[in-house]
């Protein structure tokens, strides 16, 4: 993996949440100074409870913050963590263009992730620093609930303004 990251400016993290922290810790030397859009969520290995995914993080803690602590010289930004693969590119929904929520401590990394999300057909909502990670990650639970409960995976969130 370090050969894949050596010349990259941006490395997207898209792995199972339960392995993300160990992987980032292992790759930390190869990720120094890299922008790292993070799509992971802290989904526990157990079954959903009453149709809601269970997380291995506490309510006010995020996997994003854990990853940032594991590789402090990497510029993490949470994005694409609350939508399924079927809607990631040019989502066509009756309600209009959905919102992609991003957060992270590095303005440059958020700008890069936001530009990618916009290019893929999303409105971008910047929620601030990595401290917002637990709120953004919680959207995965909300997004997955209709899927788990009703096999409805064709939806996305949108911030609506007057």
Q: What is the pLDDT along the chain (162 residues), one digit of tens a residue?
A: 567 787 888 999 999 999 999 999 999 999 999 999 999 999 999 999 999 999 999 989 999 999 999 999 999 999 999 999 999 999 999 989 999 999 999 999 999 999 999 999 999 999 999 999 999 999 999 999 999 999 999 999 999 999
Q: What is the pTM of this model?
A: 0.93
Angle between helices 17-27 and 63-70 (to 10 degrees): 20
* Residue 68 to residue 28: CA distance in whole angstroms: 10
pLDDT given at position 5: 81
Helices (H), the chain: 2-5, 17-27, 63-70, 107-119, 133-150
pLDDT of residue 11: 94
Residue 60 burial class via C-beta count within 10 angstroms: exposed 0-12, middle 13-18, buried 19 and up? exposed
The domain ranges of the chain are 2-150
Give pLDDT, residue 16. 97
Fold of 2-150: Rossmann fold (3.40.50)
Which pLDDT does position 28 carry in this prediction? 95
């Amino acid at each position: 993996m370090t050969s894949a990251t050596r010349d990259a400016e941006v490395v997207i993290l898209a792995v199972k949440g339960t392995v993300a922290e160990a992987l980032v810790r292992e790759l930390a030397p190869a990720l120094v100074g890299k922008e790292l859009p993070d799509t992971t969520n802290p989904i526990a290995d157990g079954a959903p409870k009453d149709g809601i995914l269970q997380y291995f993080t506490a309510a006010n803690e995020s996997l994003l913050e854990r990853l940032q602590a594991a590789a402090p010289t990497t510029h993490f930004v949470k994005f694409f963590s609350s939508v399924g693969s079927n809607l990631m590119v040019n989502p066509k929904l009756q309600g209009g263009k959905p919102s992609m929520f991003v957060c992270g401590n590095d303005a440059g990394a958020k700008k890069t992730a936001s530009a990618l999300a916009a290019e893929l057909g999303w409105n971008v909502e910047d929620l601030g620093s990595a401290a917002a990670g637990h709120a953004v990650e919680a959207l995965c639970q909300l997004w997955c609930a209709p899927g788990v409960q009703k096999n409805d995976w064709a939806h996305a969130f949108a911030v609506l303004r007057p």
